[in-house]
Chains A and B, each alone.
Chain A
């Protein structure tokens, strides 16, 4: 049983690779499917970077898209006005976004919990207003930017308007990079210290962790990776406006994470896939869709707080336990099953002392 479990844990990311590689074979000829698939994959990336912030209870959910937007705007401006090729922007823009995010975080992170969420939402809307009203010659005002040059051709690989497959694999590469970084963080002491700040900041401080800079570091990494996705977003869509990064759009990220589950990297991915499939198949509902999503969210928050990933995981573990019981082996301790489900983060707001 231990072996099965380990295999499943080590390969849950690997399981994702197969459908990722097969998808363009099925959908390659269909621009609509490719477009939907690429945007879904991009959204998965954004939720993954957001999940890093949530691991430290940094509630920048609705504001997170602002960092994606910064990446998109900066790379577009650099490409159009300074002629920097996309490939340079891909490397140069994320650190710029990360630096700005650290400067914003330094005062913002003095607040905690919902107060931080309010600061983040306000900041997202400031970003939207900034790009909508300032430097309209560069950022295009509220109408946004359009007719952008896209990704520069790379040798024989062309990134034209209809080369969805090329864009798809570029995005897969970016995602691989992001997942690699997130996994390394998750498994090292750095991920441990990020989570420790959420669980018991007082204790972390007492064992010598600089809680403040730990949060700032987490924020900076998460935002610069979001900026990286923004660079891709701008180059693929070639047209966007500031409202796409507003806090209103950002609330959908919360839906993906709650529906998909936050216990694992795959959780938000499941949420996005389900959301996209449902949205595309429920197009006939039009405006009623929002109502439908509201009901779904309430059901998930009340009855399935660990999301679809949690459901699947519990089912899987129940299956293993069931087979073990069938084999007349001693029943595994319930603690072992319960132990492997991550409890939700404590909803601590103020500092607790005592």
Chain B
């Protein structure tokens, strides 16, 4: 179980705002790591900097033993580090199946001329992609919706589809940005199950989340961020009892009153 993802001294400034201020994070193979923190702690920025949507001001990112600092987002994805988005970011007018087919295009690997001339190898690859897409939808439990336009699906189904788009290629690692935001408790427990199922299929996961309870139930390790720095790191049980974390979340007065 080696280190799969490592961020070293990661900094990202937006003008005078220090969204990330010298952050070190590691994720080991096969883990589910939760990244929590109050609003503005730099959680989403961390993912955006790792996948280089915003290049880091300073610091390095290593993935699978090689440095990926500064390589474009689509190259990061090609190396097997995928991400899902905070909002239900999908292709609204595409069918559910087409959303996943788009995600699988990396694996289809046919070129322009094969598609133009409708060669047998093109048809074979296309069939394979369709099969994989259907399997992905099946494991996300949204197979019945495959022909529906994605923007007409329910919020919960869109969320599952969004995650499916991220994991369709069975990547080595996926970064999930708030997969449980704005869901009701039942949906949260469904997503929790889904995330576990993805990990059990061999994908390492890092989750940014606001919802504490599912994170503590789900994660092997939790990293707490505040103002762009790491506040604490440890098992869910350790984090729950951490004095600093309680102070940050409840405020100094809150913790003083508790004593």
Q: Type the 1/0 row for B98-112, where 1 means its CB is closer than 8 Å to any CB of A.
A: 100111011010101
Interface residues of A in 306-354 (CB under 8 A from B): 335, 338-339, 342-343, 346, 353-354
Indicate if B225 sits at the interface (CB-CB under 8 A). no
Q: Does A193 count as interface, using CB distance less than 8 angstroms? A: yes
Residue-wise, chain A 190-205 has the 8 Å CB interface mask toward B (1 for contact) of: 1011011001101111
CB distance from A223 to the nearest CB of B (A): 15
Q: How far is the CB of A224 from chain B (nearest CB, A)?
A: 13
Q: When each residue 42-55 of chain B gets 1 if its CB lies under 8 Å from chain A and 0 otherwise, what string results?
A: 00100010010110
Tell whether, in the assembled complex, residue A210 and residue B85 are in contact, meaning their CB atoms are under 8 Å apart: no
Give the docked Cα–Cα distance between A217 and B112 (Å): 10
Query: Within A77-115, which residues are at the interface with B (CB < 8 Å)?
Result: none
Does B24 have its Cβ within 8 Å of any Cβ on chain A? no
Residue of A181, A206, A217 ringed by the most chain B CB atoms within 10 A: A206
CA distance A192 to B86 in the complex (A): 23
Alpha-carbon distance between A353 and B45 when the two chains are bound, in angstroms? 11
Whether A161 sits at the interface, judged by CB under 8 Å, is: no
Contact B102 A207 (CB under 8 A): yes
Instruction: Scan residues 44-102 of chain B and give those whose CB is less than 8 A from a CB of chain A.
Output: 44, 48, 51, 53-54, 72-74, 77-78, 82-83, 85-87, 89-95, 98, 101-102
Whether the pair B152, A338 counts as a contact (CB closer than 8 A) is yes
Cβ–Cβ contact A200 & B91, under 8 A: yes
Nearest to B177 among chain A residues (CB) is A354
**B205 at interface (Cβ–Cβ under 8 A)?**
no
B interface residue count range (under 10 / 10 to 19 / 20 to 34 / 35 or more) = 35 or more
Judge whether A185 is part of the interface by a CB distance below 8 angstroms.
yes
Chain A residues in 8 Å Cβ range of B165: 203, 207
Q: Is B219 an interface residue (CB 8 A)?
A: no
With an 8 A cutoff between CB atoms, is B143 at the interface?
Answer: no
A184 at the interface (CB under 8 A from B): yes
Q: How far is the CA of A217 from the CA of B89 in the complex (A)?
A: 25
Asked if A9 lies at the interface with its beta carbon under 8 angstroms from chain B, I say: no
Are A205 and B108 touching (Cβ within 8 A)? no
Task: For B152, list chain A residues within 8 Å (CB).
Answer: 335, 338-339
Size of the A side of the interface (Cβ < 8 Å), in residues, is 31
B118 interfacial by beta-carbon distance below 8 Å: yes
B193 contacts A by Cβ under 8 Å: no
Q: Which residues of B contact A217 (CB under 8 A)?
A: 112
Cβ–Cβ < 8 Å partners of B74 in chain A: 204-206, 208-211
- Chain B residues lying within 8 Å of A196, measured Cβ to Cβ, are 91, 94, 102
Q: A184-B118, A189-B101, A199-B93 are in contact. Are A207 and B106 (CB under 8 A)?
A: yes
Q: Which residue of A lies closest to B79 (CB)?
A: A208
- State the majority secondary structure of interface residues on A: helix
Q: What is the distance, in angstroms, from B83's C-beta to the closest C-beta of chain A?
A: 5
Contact call A207/B82, Cβ cutoff below 8 A = yes
Interface-central residue, B83, B92, B98, B105, by most chain A CB under 10 Å: B105
Contact of B102 among A192, A335, A346, A353 (CB under 8 A): A192
Interface pair B73/A205, CB less than 8 Å apart: yes
Given that A207-B103, A208-B106, A343-B92 are contacting pairs, would A202 and B115 also be in contact in the complex, using a CB cutoff of 8 Å?
no
CB distance from B61 to the nearest CB of A (A): 16
Complex CA distance for A210 and B73, rounded to whole angstroms: 9
Query: How far is it, in angstroms, between the C-alpha of A202 and the C-alpha of B102 when the chains are bound?
Result: 13
Q: How far is the CA of A2 from the CA of B54 in the complex (A)?
A: 47
**Bound: A188/B64 CA distance, A:** 33
Give Cα A189 to B108, complex, Å.
9
Q: Are A339 and B87 in contact (CB under 8 A)?
A: no
CB neighbours (8 Å) of A209 from chain B are 74, 102, 105-106
- The CA of A188 and the CA of B110, in the complex, are separated in Å by 10
Contact A193 B90 (CB under 8 A): no
Residues from 248 to 305 in A contacting B, C-beta threshold 8 Å: none
Tell yes or no: B134 within 8 A of A by CB.
no
Q: Judge if B129 is at the interface, Cβ distance under 8 Å.
A: yes
Q: Which residues of A contact B147 (CB under 8 A)?
A: 339
B126 at the interface (CB under 8 A from A): yes
User: Shortest beta-carbon distance, A199 to chain B, in Å?
Assistant: 4
In the complex, given contacts A203-B85, A209-B74, A211-B74, what are 4 additional A-B residue pairs having Cβ atoms less than 8 angstroms apart?
A190-B112, A207-B166, A208-B105, A339-B148
Nearest 9 A-B pairs (CB), nearest first?
Answer: A208-B77, A188-B115, A208-B106, A199-B91, A339-B149, A205-B73, A207-B103, A343-B93, A208-B78
User: Can you pick out 6 interface pairs between chain A and chain B where the beta carbons lie within 8 Å of each other?
Assistant: A189-B102, A189-B115, A190-B112, A193-B102, A199-B91, A200-B89
